[in-house]
A and B are shown apart, each in its own frame.
Chain A
Amino acid sequence: MHKLFWRSWQAKTCYTKVLWAAVLIFVIFIVPMSVEACPACKTLDDPIGKGFNWSILFLMAMPFTVFGLIGGTVYLHYRRANRKPTDEETI
């Protein structure tokens, strides 16, 4: 499926590609005028809505932080273990 898409994309002229990119930018940046983290909270001025938004943003960031920290620690340990000894260390 993705090969078919890629072939048809390559067959398109430069003008058509720019037009598609413009449509995409329009959809991404123009259409959703305002986005809230909590779809149930209709007005951001409401303190409860603000509370839910902050909570959702915080909880949304945490899995990335946790996986990033664990992944970073594992990566650093392996990099340190595979590090080539310097001339000073070999002497």
Chain B
Amino acid sequence: MTQNSPEIQERQPLSNARLGVLVLLGAETMLFSGLIGTFLVFRVGNVTWPPPSHIGIELPRAITGINTVLLLLSGYTMFQARRAIQKDNLKQLRNWLLLTGGLGLLFLGVQGSEWVQLIRNGLTLQSGVYGGIFYVLIGCHAVHVLSAVIWLFIVFGMAMAGRFSADRYIGVDTCTIYWIFVVALWPILYVLVYLS
């Protein structure tokens, strides 16, 4: 058995894969911190928000609020998927993963339709600081949700192939950590961008 074999890694207190994902999330946190820092400069720096040039444009707070609940629910279903594989229940794992992926896609769909509506109302990336920071911050999160959904469906495919068990579920575990990060980040962005 080599040093890097999955059996050895599973027995380590913190596997290399988990540590790798944690470091990745550290870098992601710094990326979003930079974007939130930029948002704070514009938000606190402007007495009127949205700026006078965007006064007629309203962000869809209510629909996004419901969307937030959907994303938080997907965090719960992902957690249940992890619990299912810990109990060696592959069928439940597949069901929970599918439900989580569906909720993630629904979140992206609702957000995409909101963006279409906002662009029609005149809020674009070039329409000023308000539009620029909105699309960069929320768009960056949407890209992360999309990559999390792709990762999740890869894990789902591996689950369909029977690659996981109660002793070997590092793929599910790392995907869960990433998903929870993406889910936990959203309420902060929602409060900052939509409610502040």
Give residues in A with beta carbon < 8 Å to B: 47-48, 50-52, 54-56, 58-59, 62-63, 65-67, 69-70, 73-74, 77-78, 80-82
**Nearest residue, chain A, Cβ from B19:** A74
**A69, B33: Cα distance in complex, Å:** 15
Interface of A is mostly: helix
Closest 7 CB pairs of A and B: A51-B45, A81-B13, A51-B44, A77-B14, A62-B33, A55-B37, A51-B41
Give the residues in chain A near B30, CB-CB below 8 Å: 62-63, 66
CB atoms of A50 and B44 under 8 A apart: yes
Q: Which residues of B contact A55 (CB under 8 A)?
A: 37-38, 40-41, 44
Binding site for A on B (CB under 8 A): 12-14, 19, 22-23, 26, 29-30, 33-34, 36-38, 40-47
Asked if A78 and B14 sit within 8 Å, CB to CB, the answer is yes
Among A62, A69, A74, the one with the most B-chain Cβ atoms within 10 Å of its Cβ is A62
Q: Is the Cβ of B40 less than 8 Å from the Cβ of A70?
A: no
Q: Closest residue of chain A to B39, judged by CB?
A: A55
How far is B41's CA from A35's CA once the two chains are assembled, in angstroms? 19
Question: Which residue in chain B gives the minimum CB-CB distance to A49?
Answer: B45
Q: How far is the CB of A83 from chain B (nearest CB, A)?
A: 10
**Nearest CB in chain A to that of B28: its residue:** A66
Report chain B residues within 8 Å CB of A77. Answer: 13-14
Once the chains bind, are A47 and B45 in contact (CB under 8 Å)? yes
Task: Please name all residues of chain A whose beta carbon is closer than 8 Å to the beta carbon of B34 when the two chains form the complex.
Answer: 59
Q: How far is the CB of A80 from chain B (nearest CB, A)?
A: 7
Query: Complex Cα distance A77/B22, Å?
Result: 13
- In the complex, the chain A residue whose C-beta lies closest to that of B26 is A66
User: With the chains together, A50 CA to B45 CA distance in Å?
Assistant: 7
